[in-house]
Amino acid sequence: MNDPKIIIALDYAEAAPALALADRLQPSQCRLKVGKELFTATGPALLEQLMKRGFEIFLDLKFHDIPNTTAQACKAAASLGVWMVNVHALGGRKMLEAAREAVANSAHQPKLIAVTMLTSMAQEDLADIGIAATPAEMVLRLATLARDSGLDGVVCSAQEAAMLRQRCGSEFCLVTPGIRPAQASLDDQSRVMTPQAALQAGSSYLVIGRPITKAADPLQALLAINQEIVGARFIAP
């Protein structure tokens, strides 16, 4: 089966623009991400409409709570039939293991991944919350915890992908937001990389929102990025 590398972040306030964009796209070109804003506004009904069109969905709700609450939320998310769900690795080992068990016991089992350190954050943001580690140290620590807790992979910046690909193995799923084509606006992202460089660094999937959704022609923007990454593969450092 074709395995599109781009996951478009449908960061919209309502269903209509999300469905209008989906209607211009093919499931062979990309997967779609529904996050907090759109899911809070529309609920599971929109997921059904997107899945009916053949798209695989990353439900990005970044659960972070006590183990039981997180596990029940993951169970509920799995029952929606989505392709991928996520939690925050900062919730700790017990929470990660509870989430993993909840997904493993579900009839439908989405990929379960953990957010390490948000791509909007830089060294000084870690200092603000009392963490003395560098972003690379922090991401490696949380990714190792996620892997040891049995998760399928992590969300990280592509700047950490090469390190994690070497330390966590070829099967570990590295989902990288903070992707910006050369010359594109960074918006609120901090740790960024271009699409091709991200795949060469070892990313499994690229999460891309505004560079596509805010483009004058989102379909053309997606096609241009897909063209740029044809044949791009991990290049071991």
Catalytic center residues: 60, 62, 65
Please report where in the chains the tokens 């596990």 appear, as a residue. 71
Interface map 87-126 toward ligand OMP (x if CB under 6 A): ----------------------------x--xx-------
Contact between 116 and 142 (Cβ < 8 Å): yes
Nearest approach in angstroms of CB 120 to ligand OMP is 6
Whether the Cβ atoms of residue 86 and residue 62 lie closer than 8 Å to each other? yes
Q: How many helices (H) and strands (E) does the chain have?
A: 11, 8
| Cβ-proximal residue to ligand OMP, closest one | 209
160 binding ligand OMP? (CB under 6 A): no
Q: What's the token pair of residue 100?
A: 């993993």
**80 vs 141: CA distance, rounded Å:** 31
Tell me how far, at minimum, the Cβ of 73 lies from ligand OMP, in Å. 15
Name the segment binding ligand OMP (CB under 6 A); options: 22-30, 38-46, 139-147, 204-212.
Answer: 204-212
189 is in an annotated binding site: yes
The three-state secondary structure class of 140 is: helix
**Judged by CB under 6 A, does residue 35 bind ligand OMP?**
yes
Angle 76-172-101 from CA coordinates, rounded to 5°: 30
Q: How far apart are CA 6 and CA 176, in angstroms?
A: 10
Interface with ligand OMP by CB under 6 A: which residues? 9, 11, 35, 60, 62, 86, 115, 118-119, 155, 177-178, 187, 189, 207-211
Residue list for the binding site for substrate = 11, 33, 60-69, 119, 180, 189, 209-210
